[in-house]
Structure 1
């Protein structure tokens, strides 16, 4: 399989959005717009020359959309290989390409947001540990920051102190999200509609800038739901899942 690097010139025509085939879909449009704005920040999106889930996305940590401190590191936003492309060494190929590229750019190493156990939408800890990544830091309730230094003298990355104990001051349900994942363009507005229809106190906060993301209240800026100030989940919810969670929380 050949690797294609997304550029401003080919972004419009390349398939980049996971399982979404329609390039006019709002999810695709939102994601491509987000990528276009990040390319000047050093964002790299590399994909197999296929239509499917086979890609890696990374960016210098100083420009990462996450509350971390990892100067000189490259931050992996997402490594996703699935479906017919899984089990063929494609994940390793993409990660090795990221390592090669990052070393050529003089980076100190790689860093990635993960979790204590495998969870949806977050890097698989078992896979990355198998590839040599080590634990750098933790944040409640289950987030882990993993890193792969290219030099053992490199400074260990860490979460910003503001997210060590994930919580916010606002009450009710509050959703923080970004356009980094295409699915949020569809599902974040949907649950806001459902909340209003069911008289559930709800507020959504779309993170629009790098600075906002780096000062977000959760390590996972793509999508984080809070209730009465406490973190609930990072999983992108359907309408039914949202209502189920809201009902459970309200009965506590």
Structure 2
């Protein structure tokens, strides 16, 4: 077995020295990486798993018991995937299948993951999961889908909570962004990039950090990892980090 065929599961003994794949340390990512590692450290005792390829690569999966997930889903006895990524030259080598199978092997009732009908940035690819027997079991506005692979056919089907299915927040006259420490990009892209872009377009901006599992499980969005609201309505889970993205995402909304 070559080093690149070996997977590493993060634990208290190796967390400080191992990278966390999606954001290699740098001037913009450093604070977010440190925050994400602190977050992982706090989840390990609750069964959180971060498994990655033993290489400097974006090849990894994150999952935990759905009851412990930072997501507004009801899926007792299921495992919930929160992030799953195989990028670049590592695609097509079976790494994604191996990571997914390692998760499924630990599941009691099955596995769930939040996705969407159309492939979107920073979200699980629905087509990939469908190849392995996953299917839609619930939906939430504006485009979120809950995918499931049921292992115990007698277990009740998972679902989004009522807050996820009725996404809204108070109207501040502009943009509100909800986010969790689970994504290392949030520290910079929310508090710096999005704040600057939204402000440059003359809109009020407020960043609302979700700091506990309870808050995340009762969040007003199916994707508390990062969600953007305008005038109280959920617009996107995408980072609005420059004017190009602002025009594409917010342009149609502002014209209404």
1:179-208 CA-partner distances (Å, limit 9, x unpaired): 111111110011224434554211110100
Q: Residue 141 of structure 1 corresponds to which residue in structure 2?
A: 142
Matched, 1:123 2:130: no
Which stretch has the larger CA shift, 226-235 or 189-198?
189-198
Tell me how many residue pairs correspond in the alignment: 248
Residue 37 of structure 2: which of 26, 32, 35 is its match? 32
Q: Residue 109 of structure 1 corresponds to which residue in structure 2?
A: 110
Query: Can you give the 5+ residue segments of structure 2 that lack an aligned partner in the other structure?
Result: none
Q: What is the correspondence of 1:74-89 to structure 2 with a 5 Å cutoff? A: 74-89=79-94
Structure 2 SS opposite 1:93: helix
Matched, 1:240 2:243: yes
Q: Residue 208 of structure 1 corresponds to which residue in structure 2?
A: 211
Q: Aligned-residue CA RMSD in angstroms?
A: 1.8
Q: Residue 15 of structure 2 corresponds to which residue in structure 1?
A: 11
- CA–CA distance in structure 2, aligned partners of residues 184 and 52 of structure 1: 20
1:71-107 CA-partner distances (Å, limit 9, x unpaired): 111000111011121110000010111112x14xxx2
Residue 2 of structure 1: which of 1, 6, 19 is its match? 6
Report how far residue 148 of structure 1 moved.
0.9
- CA–CA distance in structure 2, aligned partners of residues 96 and 248 of structure 1: 40
Q: Residue 69 of structure 1 corresponds to which residue in structure 2?
A: 74
Q: Residue 231 of structure 2 corresponds to which residue in structure 1?
A: 228
TM-score normalised over the length of structure 2: 0.91
Query: Can you give the 5+ residue segments of structure 1 that lack an aligned partner in the other structure?
Result: none
For the Cα contact (< 8 Å) 1:113–1:146, is it kept in 2? Answer: yes
Structure 2 SS opposite 1:112: strand
Matched, 1:195 2:209: no
Which stretch has the larger CA shift, 175-184 or 12-21?
12-21
Q: Residues 181 and 76 of structure 1: is their aligned pair in 2 closer, same or farther, counting only changes over 3 Å?
A: same
